Structure 1
């Protein structure tokens, strides 16, 4: 494991990696997370009975906005021209809301951080909108499910070499 660390300069200080010589490819990343809550909270979300409004609609917009702003949150992320952002929600019928984000671009670097940021912001928005009725909510695990494109190739969680 004698690989050079790419995010450090000659003085061993952090730097943003130079991607100017990388080939543009279609890139996609899918990230997932979950929000665990009281069954009553889940029911109120599904019935649209949360005082602050439509929780999933607001969380969806928050996730999209967060994906677009990822370089402002994560210092070494490159600003990217995203070509698609989609969030979807499902639940276990009882007490867990699942959030999935798919982010796409055609560029020289991947969109894993944008997808992870999207699900994180969506989950935090759910918490914010429901905290008055359920402060015991918990978020996670949050993880990269898959990615396609780029020099390192495709990745699907659980299919490590």
Structure 2
């Protein structure tokens, strides 16, 4: 691991996203609460937070850090794309005050939340897929702020 002991303690924030593509019927069942395993987005939200907290157990060179907050949100798009798929965009924001950033915690959170959506719906839609997993914004630390091109000031994709 990189030695971060000489780095200053600063407030650090990172926001990441991932998209889950699924059949329109699957999205309807999620919205209507008709998935056999339960409330898909509520479970995915909890899973995302748990994933963020377990990041150093999953990514070998990540430092264990104290997360002061992790927020997971979902944006559903019921309009089918050219492949006939709807989407759920998962967004995670992780925050800490420390000597190293929270980018990997935010990225892990969206990954685990997306995988949880797949797990909970795979019995009715094995064709689900993922894309656009990326860091949207980060702030704090020596390297300063980052904002992905095409994102607005709060870190969501511009449309």
Q: Return the TM-score normalized by structure 2.
A: 0.89
Q: Alpha-carbon deviations, 1:72-127, whole Å to 9, x = none? A: 00000000000000000011123100100000000000000000000000000000
Which stretches in structure 1 are left out of the alignment for 5+ residues?
Answer: 1-15
Partner of 2:82: none
1:79 aligned partner: 64
Runs of 4 or more consecutive aligned structure 1 residues displaced over 6 Å after TM superposition: none
Match of 1:118 among 98, 106, 109: 109
Cα root mean square deviation, aligned: 0.8
Name 2:131's counterpart in structure 1.
Answer: 140
Deviations 1:4-49 (A, max 9, x none): xxxxxxxxxxxx0000000000000000000000000001001111
Task: Return the alpha-carbon distance in structure 2 between the equivalents of residues 140 and 54 of structure 1.
Answer: 23
Query: Partners of 1:84 and 1:103 in 2: how far apart?
Result: 6
In the alignment, the residues of structure 2 paired with residue 108 and residue 21 of structure 1 have an alpha-carbon distance, to the nearest angstrom, of 8
Equivalent residue of 2:11, what SS?
strand
Question: Which secondary structure state, in structure 1, belongs to the residue aligned with residue 5 of structure 2?
Answer: coil
Alignment of 1:43-122 (within 5 A): 43-94=28-79, 95-122=86-113
Residue number in structure 2 paired with 1:19: 4
Aligned partners of 2:43 and 2:37: how far apart in 1? 10
Task: Tell me, yes or no, if structure 1 residue 155 matches structure 2 residue 146.
Answer: yes
Aligned length: 144
> What are structure 2's unaligned runs of at least 5 residues?
80-85, 151-159
User: Secondary structure of 1:80's partner?
Assistant: coil
TM-score (norm. length: structure 1): 0.88
2: CA distance, partners of 1:140 / 1:108: 30
